[in-house]
Amino acid sequence: MPINILMPALSPTMEKGNLAKWLKKEGDTIKSGDILAEIETDKATMEVEAVDEGVLAKIMVPEGTQDVAVNQIIAMIASAGEKVAGVNAGSAAPAAPVAAAAAPAATTAAPATPPPVVSHAGPVAKAESSRVFASPLAKRMAKEFGLDLSAIVGSGPHGRVVERDVKAAQAGGTTKAAPPAAAAAAPAPAAPKPVMAAGPSDEATKKLFAPGSYEEVPHDGMRKTIARRLTESKQTVPHFYLTVDCNLDALLSLREQINAAAPVSDGKPAYKLSVNDMVVKAWAMALKAVPDANASWTENSMLKHKHADVGVAVSIPGGLITPIIRDACHKTLSTISNEMKDLAARAKNRKLKPEEYQGGTTAVSNLGMFGVKDFCAVINPPHATILAVGAGEKRPVVKADGMLGVATVMSVTLSTDHRAVDGALGAEALAAFRKYIENPMGMLV
C-alpha cells in the first residue's frame, strides 16, 4: 500500500510553508534518512527527511509551490512496481495509515500557543470542548471578532478552520455571534479581551498618494509574522522601560587583551570578541544573579527559568531573526563569540533550525554599530525582557575623585513585561548587568 508523505509542521504554530525544492525525483529509490525536499518557512529553510523506504512513486506538489498547508500530501512512496492512483494533487491526508516526513523538532522554552496534538496522520490542532477543529490563530481571531467557530466552514487540513476562513467570515458577515456565557457560569461578567486595532484599509492608504508615485511590494511571510507578533506584543504586554549608562573603558581594555592573546591557527585567531559578545555574557550572568527576572508570564503561573538563554537580534534580508545562545551564563566569552558568528552567518542564509531561534528566555538588540545612542525594544513573548543596546561614545564624566574627565559610555534600555518583572526587579537586574560591564573581570570567573 502506498505511503503518503505529508507537509510537516516545523514548529508548533506552523500552518503552511513553501515547498522550495525537491531533491529526489519520481522513480528514485528512497531509503530511511534520505533528504527528500527543502521546505521554507517565514524564518528558515529546512530539509525534509524520509522515514520509510521504497520508490518515490508520485510527487503531488511541485517545487516552488507557495503556502502548502500542514498535513497536505506532497508525495507518495510505494514498493517497487506498485501502481499509485486515485489521489489528487493537493488533497488532505486520508484516514488510512500515513507517514509524515521527518523534520527537526522545534524546542521552545514556553510556546505562546499550545502545541498541536500529534497523531499518526501528522500534527492536527485540536479544538476545545466544542470539537471544532481550528488553528490557535483562528480561535483567537474568532474570539476577537465575536464569531462562532462552529458556524465557520474550514478550508484547512481535515476541515480545520484557519486564519483565512475567519477573515472571510468577518468580511462576509455570514456567521452568527458567539453565544454569551450563561449567567450562572460566573458571578460577574469577565472583562472583555482587547481587540486588535485595525488601521486604514489598503485602498484608503493608497488614495493618499498619487497613482504611479509608489511601488507596491507585497509582504512576504516573514514580514507578516513580524508585524503580527509585534502588534500583539505592544497591545497585550504592558511594557516598562529602564535606562542606565555604562562606562565601557575597562571592558574595552579587557577585550583588547583577550583578543591579543587568542591562539592563532593557519593565520587566523581562534576567536575575536566583540562588545556584543560581552554584552550577551554580562546580561546572562545578571539574570543568573537575579533569577526572579529570568521569567515568563502565563495566565496561570510564572515560569522561572533555570538557564539564561539569550536571543540576539540579527538583521537579515526582509526582516529580523533572533538566534539563541543557550545557557549563556555558563559559556566562555570565546564560545559565545564563535557560536554567535556561526548562528548569524546561517541566519542570513536562512539555514537555522527552528530550535536555534525559537524559545529563549530573554533577548538583546544592539543598534550601536549604526550609531544609535539609545532606543526602546519591543518584547518578544514568551520573553519578559529585552535589552536594547546603544553605541559606545566618548562623553564627559565626573570621575571618582570629583574631577571632570572623558569616558566611553554606552546607554542601555531594558524593556520588561511589567506583569512578570516590575520596576524594582528590573532595576535590580539592570544594576547587576552594569556591574559586570564596568567590572568585566567578573565575567571570566
Give the right CATH number for 125-172 from 3.20.10.10, 4.10.320.10, 2.40.30.10, 3.30.300.20. 4.10.320.10
Q: What number of CA atoms fall less than 13 Å from residue 329's CA on the CB side?
A: 19
| CA nearest to 109, candidates 377, 330, 309 | 309
Average pLDDT of span 154-169? 73
- 52, pLDDT greater than 60: yes
The lowest-confidence range among 158-167, 210-219, 242-251, 307-316 is 158-167
Q: Which residues are catalytic?
A: 418
The strand pairing partners of 302, in sequence order, are: 297
Helices (H), 99-248: 136-145, 163-172, 202-206, 221-236
Q: Which residues pair with 39 in a beta bridge?
A: 19, 46
Residue 6 has pLDDT above 70, yes or no: yes
Residue 2 corresponds to which cell in the numbers above? 502506498
Q: Between 225 and 13, name the one with better pLDDT.
A: 225
| Per-residue pLDDT band at 23 (split at 50, 70, 90) | very high
313 vs 276, 349, 401, CA distance in Å?
11, 15, 39
- Say whether pLDDT at 243 is over 90: yes
On average, the pLDDT of the chain sits at: 82
Question: 80 pLDDT exceeds 80?
Answer: no
Q: Provide CATH 3.30.559.10 ranges for the chain.
A: 238-444
Beta-carbon count within 10 A of 383 CB: 28
pLDDT value at position 220?
82
- pLDDT interval class at 112 (50, 70, 90): very low
Percentage of residues in the chain with pLDDT exceeding 70? Answer: 80
pLDDT at 125 over 70: no
**CB-count burial class (<10 Å; 0-12, 13-18, 19+) for 56:** buried
Question: What pLDDT does residue 181 have?
Answer: 41
Task: Name, of 214-218, 347-351, 407-411, the range with top average pLDDT.
Answer: 407-411
Q: How many angstroms separate the CA atoms of 116 and 137, rounded?
A: 12
What's the confidence (pLDDT) of residue 121? 33
For strands 54-59 and 29-30, give the pairing: antiparallel
pLDDT score recorded for residue 143: 80
Q: How far is CA 420 from CA 113, 231, 303, in A?
A: 18, 19, 9
Where are the domain boundaries for CATH 2.40.50.100 in the chain? 3-100
How much is the average pLDDT of 160-173?
Answer: 74
Fold topology of 3-100: OB fold (Dihydrolipoamide Acetyltransferase, E2P) (2.40.50)
Mean pLDDT of 4-16: 80
> At residue 107, does pLDDT exceed 70?
no
Nearest-angstrom CA–CA distance, 321 and 111: 16
pLDDT at 240 over 90: yes
Tell me what pLDDT residue 338 has: 96
Q: How far apart are CA 10 and CA 6, in angstroms?
A: 12
Q: Boundaries of CATH 4.10.320.10 in the chain?
A: 125-172
According to the model, what pLDDT value does residue 262 have?
95
* CB-CB contact of 395 with 418 (8 Å): no
Tens of pLDDT along 339-354?
999 999 999 988 888 8
CATH number of 238-444: 3.30.559.10
Whether 105 shows a pLDDT value over 70: the answer reads no
163-177, 268-282, 297-311, range with the lowest pLDDT? 163-177
Residue predicted with more confidence, 195 or 319: 319
Q: What pLDDT, on the 0 to 100 scale, is given for residue 427?
A: 97
Section 294-309 average pLDDT:
96
Residue 392 pLDDT more than 50?
yes
Grid coordinates given for 43: 524564518
